[in-house]
Amino acid sequence: MKKLNPSIRHHLLIGIFISVWLFIFAFFIRPFDDGTINFKMWLLISFGFSLIAFLCYGILAIIQKSIYQKVLKWNIGFEIVSLIFFQLLFLISTYLYYKSPVLNGGYDFIKFSRIIILKSALISTPIIVLARIYSVKLIPTKDENIIIRGENKLDILKIRKQDLVCVSNSQNYVEIFFLEENKLKTKLIRSTLKKVQNDFDFLVQVHRSHLINPTHFKAWKNQDTLSLTQIELPVSKNYKEHLLSL
């Protein structure tokens, strides 16, 4: 999957779907039933495993959104790592629950992984993949657009929030640097840096003449210069400490 729906709300819905499926799978199919587990124990196993699956997927949703907002892209590698992370987190969490006083399970970690979790992972992974593809194709995330307005009626720029790289002061104008088809573009708008900063509080001031969108921060070139997406800007001492604390 080369795209990601970063919406935590949509992924929590996937988490609910996974947890309901896992409850049904564990309670009715009972994949590791040895004839010694009673009804109450199966209920505790099924409910506990399904709740853990929901919580693990919720953690994944938060982490992947944070990563996506920083790199502004998604690819097969990220997707594979996400699935592995979920299964490992689910394995560790369910094993701790299995060995807790609630269940007091007898399998060691290796046997638990092979007999219980491996079966679950082989069946759940394709379901998770299909659900994540569904979240992109059938529940597309809406682009978060922003509108930058100047003093004149014709001074207007509508772009996606994630495409705004930085804003620089240019005498009686501000120069907007933004991405369009992965190319850096600029537009002059008659306004002030202070007004732009007040209108868009996610921007961070790094110099008296420059505001940056922190999601485009790449690296420090040296002590007084930082690298953004396709551009470098100076950093003044007055704003450096605040920038380092972000």
Last residue of a domain, one of 79, 112, 137: 137
CA pseudo-torsion sign 89, 90, 91, 95: positive
Confidence band for 246, pLDDT divided at 50, 70 and 90: low
- The pTM assigned to this predicted structure is 0.61
Percentage of residues in the chain with pLDDT exceeding 90? 59
Q: Are residues 89 and 150 in the same domain?
A: no
**Helix residue ranges per DSSP H, the chain:** 8-24, 39-71, 76-99, 109-112, 118-137, 193-199, 237-245
Beta bridge partner(s), residue 157: 148
Q: Are residues 110 and 230 in the same domain?
A: no
Under the banding of pLDDT at 50, 70 and 90, the label for residue 120 is confident
Residues pairing with 168 in the sheet: 175, 210
Measured CA to CA, the distance from residue 25 to residue 123 in angstroms comes to: 10
CA 100, 111, 16, 84 dihedral sign is: positive
pLDDT for residue 123: 86
What does the pLDDT look like over 183-219, one tens digit per residue?
999 999 999 999 999 999 889 999 999 999 999 999 9
Last residue of a domain, one of 137, 167, 197: 137
Q: Does the residue 2 lie in any domain?
A: no
- Structural domain range at position 60: 8-137
Q: Answer yes or no: are the C-beta atoms of 19 and 51 closer than 8 Å.
A: yes
For the stretch 139-184, pLDDT in tens is 555 557 889 999 988 889 999 998 999 999 998 999 999 999 889 9
- Residues 21, 99, single domain; the answer is yes
